[in-house]
Chains A and B, each alone.
Chain A
Amino acid sequence: MKYEVVMGLETHAELDTKSKLFCGCSTKFGSEPNTQTCPICLGLPGVLPVMNKKAFEHSLKAALALHCEISKFTNFDRKSYYYPDLPKNYQTSQNYFNIGNNGYVDIVVKGKEKRIDIHNVHLEEEAGKLVHPETTGANYSLVDFNRAGVPLLEVVTQPDMRSVDEVESYMQTLRNILLYIGVSDCKMQEGSLRFEVSISLREKGSNILGNRVEIKNLNSMKAVLKVIAYEISRQGSLLDKGEDVLMETRLWDDVDSVSRRMRSKEEAHDYRYFPEPDLVPVWIDQGWIDETQATIPELPVDRHRRFVNEYTISDYDAGVLTEDKPLADYFEECVKMSQDSPKELSNWIINDVLRELNERKTNVQDFAISPEMLVELIKIKPTIGSSIAKDVFIEMINTGKTATSIVKEKDLTQMDDVSELDDVVTKVIEENSKAAEDYRLGKKSALAFLIGQTMKITKGKANPKILTEIFKERLSADPK
């Protein structure tokens, strides 16, 4: 492609609080419409909003985790526009003194680190939700204000991203950070995390930014990636024809997979920001910053690096483990308790634990096997063999019992006594003399059959390594 794509992202994340930003109404998702409203979040005359401390602290924490410079003085501004989902006709947001400015996020793309600069991080309130009736000819829309006034964090990047991969990595990294520091549940299907992307193209090697197109209405990461591909081709073909790309806001239509121009009426940006007179400013002193900084856990990208260095697991494995904080915690708890190698533990978690979590649609916090139980299973694995260990693992999930008690109950301890196995082998060779003969004559696959027969008799308990050795010895040394 002869064009370079330049992208920036705006992210909105609903902050995890019990009550709304300025009133005591619940932030619970999915309630009956308009059951979580009051005169404050509906913007009735004469009310006085008071800031939710938790929401402010969450924002400060996010700004610090994104390495922002923290403003000593912050305030809130009214952003005026008329839209039916905004009961006050203005949104309380921050424009002049954001909580955080000039931060960054380190992302990893194909094993390489890249720094994405953050322009600002600020706190604002959510709008309500519009419902458009499907009925043909319906000339109305419906409004639910339960969401109006829910605290919302906005994170704005610089136009630093140059590829779909970078955008994808940024979205996942940011999501992980917000989850790690516990400020948002980031559930995209509930709209708690939303992205807007701005895209422009320019000739490769050019320093001048092309006309920027902003895309809204992206309700999944997949939609973001789809719209980027769409816009690259749409803008590219305009430029190819020598036409201009219009600076505009477009809406993504997920059903038809196209972006469409927003009506200019909706686009008229004249927000007339001015300081919110009903709220007082917030001063953030160094003590408060230090206190908040101390509550930020090790961030995913740092943890990822440490897992590779400290536990010598692969970059890929470290990535999978650190993608989810509870999963990374689970792994580290196992490492702490176990004598087995972190690599072995990581294999179990990535292959077996994750598979079962996915299949059972649950998460590691609710998983039936605690780190302690997994460590015990891996510890006794040599006495039962790998294949039985996998069965015991499933049994543990289904019954909640420990590996040791399952092994005891079902008498699953591996047979690795040579003379005991020898007796079984003698019996198997006698009963399957044809297969034994085939093997002697050079048909290697006959061995697998014989081992299979032995496993049947021993209910899978025979140590396969010792068994193979015995068979090989018997069937070559025996001159019969």
Chain B
Amino acid sequence: MDISVKEIEHIANLSRITLAVDEKNIFAKQLTNILDYIEKLNELDTDDVQPMAYATSLKNVFREDELKSSFSRQEILELSPSSANGFFKVPKVIE
């Protein structure tokens, strides 16, 4: 399965990363190799096998609807590059 440079650009855009031209070529080639490798699995007959999304057999794990104390605001805000008046401050999101 060939991953094109165009697809690489799309994925990079979704992930908000900027790639140089030669990087795009490298990643296209590498991702193609990875998918070809995984492609081997298609050689197996899986008609009667249910898709598996979870490696453990755990199910129905819940917690009760109980309050726990939240973290202090100061402590939380200190983790961010910028804050103001108790809010996280981010680049403007509307035009």
* Assembly CA distance A80 to B65 (angstroms): 27
Interface string of A17-49 (1 = CB under 8 A from B): 111000111100000111111110010100000
* Assembly CA distance A32 to B13 (angstroms): 35
Interface centre among B65, B71, B79, B91 (most CB of A within 10 A): B65
Other-chain contact of A270, B14, B65, B86, B87 (Cβ < 8 Å): B14
Interface size on B, residues (CB 8 A): 38
Q: A139-B91, A281-B53 are in contact. Are A17 and B61 (CB under 8 A)?
A: no
* Assembly CA distance A17 to B66 (angstroms): 9
- Residues in B whose Cβ lies below 8 Å from that of A331: none
B46 at the A interface (CB under 8 A): no
A219 at the B interface (CB under 8 A): no
Q: A37-B71, A275-B53 are in contact. Are A280 and B88 (CB under 8 A)?
A: no
The segment out of A130-138, A189-197, A202-210, A430-438 that lies at the interface is: A130-138
The answer to whether B87 and A53 touch across the interface, beta carbons within 8 angstroms, is: no
The answer to whether B65 and A55 touch across the interface, beta carbons within 8 angstroms, is: yes
The answer to whether B62 and A56 touch across the interface, beta carbons within 8 angstroms, is: yes
Interface string of B82-95 (1 = CB under 8 A from A): 10111111111111
* Chain A contact residues, majority secondary structure: loop
A158 at the B interface (CB under 8 A): no
Chain A's closest residue to B13 (CB) is: A268
Q: A39-B71, A270-B14 are in contact. Are A283 and B60 (CB under 8 A)?
A: yes
Chain A's closest residue to B89 (CB) is: A140
Which residues of B33-84 are within 8 A (CB) of A? Answer: 53-54, 56, 58-71, 73, 76-77, 79, 82, 84
Other-chain contact of B73, A32, A50, A141 (Cβ < 8 Å): A32
The answer to whether B68 and A25 touch across the interface, beta carbons within 8 angstroms, is: yes
- Residues in B whose Cβ lies below 8 Å from that of A470: none
* B interface residues (Cβ-Cβ under 8 A, vs A): 10, 13-14, 16, 53-54, 56, 58-71, 73, 76-77, 79, 82, 84-95
Q: Can you name 8 A-B pairs with beta carbons within 8 Å?
A: A34-B76, A42-B76, A53-B63, A54-B64, A132-B92, A143-B90, A282-B59, A282-B60
